[in-house]
């Protein structure tokens, strides 16, 4: 995968950016994370995984432990960059349009992939700085059909170490691709998992 380094290309930190992208690329190949769209607005990559807990979603979808799910990963290089003033209304609108475009592309991709017919839902992780942000972003993602879920005890304990490692990588990727946002990334200690049923995805986003 080709990547475009930040405005610090050519500086003394360019080697660090290169190393971070190489590590991220290696980890994606190892985990089977891949791109499903060539749309430059697409903000997600996906990984075929298994649900690690049983949950009932608001639309009636039952996700059982072990069911196939698609795990969403942020495509960091495609996330709209913040300006020096931080998140603005214009930036938020740009992100919102990108999320909707990403989900439309994913609905189209699933429609064309018989091998993923058994996938019942999509899921992703949100790492937040405070419980207030967790509640606020829970309301925001609901606009796109997602539902925030509190992890069960076993899943929480099993994933804690993995999340620490992933959090470190996220900080490095943000530093390389969108350094203005770094100050809002470092102290994210609250974790929420979000789910979107396949039925809701297809109803809302399939064209």
Which domain CATH number covers 154?
3.40.630
Q: Does the pLDDT of residue 9 top 70, yes or no?
A: no
Q: Is residue 6 part of a domain?
A: no
Domain count, the chain: 1
Q: Is residue 119 part of a domain?
A: yes
In this structure, what DSSP letter does residue 83 have? B
- If phi over 0 gives left and psi between -120 and 50 gives alpha, with beta otherwise, what is residue 60? left
Q: Does the pLDDT of residue 165 top 60, yes or no?
A: no
> Which pTM does this prediction carry?
0.72
Give me 58's structure tokens. Answer: 């608001």
Q: Is residue 7 part of a domain?
A: no
Average pLDDT over residues 169-189: 48
For strand 55-56 and strand 190-197, is the pairing parallel, antiparallel, or unpaired?
A: unpaired
pLDDT number for residue 198: 97
Q: Is residue 121 part of a domain?
A: yes
Give me 192's structure tokens. Answer: 């929420």
Give me 49's structure tokens. Answer: 């995984």
Q: Is residue 116 part of a domain?
A: yes
Q: What range defines the domain where residue 160 resides?
A: 14-205
């Amino acid at each position: 995968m080709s990547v475009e380094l930040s405005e610090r290309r050519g500086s003394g930190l360019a080697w660090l950016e290169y190393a971070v992208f190489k590590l991220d690329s290696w980890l994606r190949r190892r985990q089977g994370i891949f791109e499903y769209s060539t749309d430059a607005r697409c903000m997600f990559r996906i990984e075929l995984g298994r649900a690690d807990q049983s949950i009932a979603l608001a639309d009636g979808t039952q996700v059982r432990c072990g069911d196939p799910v698609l795990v969403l990963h942020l495509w960091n290089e495609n996330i709209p960059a913040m300006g020096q003033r931080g998140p603005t209304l214009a930036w938020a609108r740009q992100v919102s349009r990108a999320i909707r475009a990403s989900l439309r592309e994913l609905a189209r991709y699933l429609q064309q992939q018989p091998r993923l017919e058994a996938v019942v839902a999509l899921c992703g992780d949100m790492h937040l700085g405070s419980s207030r942000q967790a509640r606020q972003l829970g309301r925001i993602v609901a606009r796109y059909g997602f539902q925030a879920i509190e992890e069960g005890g076993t899943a929480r304990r099993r994933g804690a170490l993995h999340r620490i490692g992933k959090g470190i990588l996220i900080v490095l990727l943000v530093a390389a691709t969108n350094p203005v946002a770094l100050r809002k990334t470092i102290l994210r200690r609250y974790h929420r998992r979000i789910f979107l049923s396949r039925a809701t995805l297809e109803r809302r986003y399939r064209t």
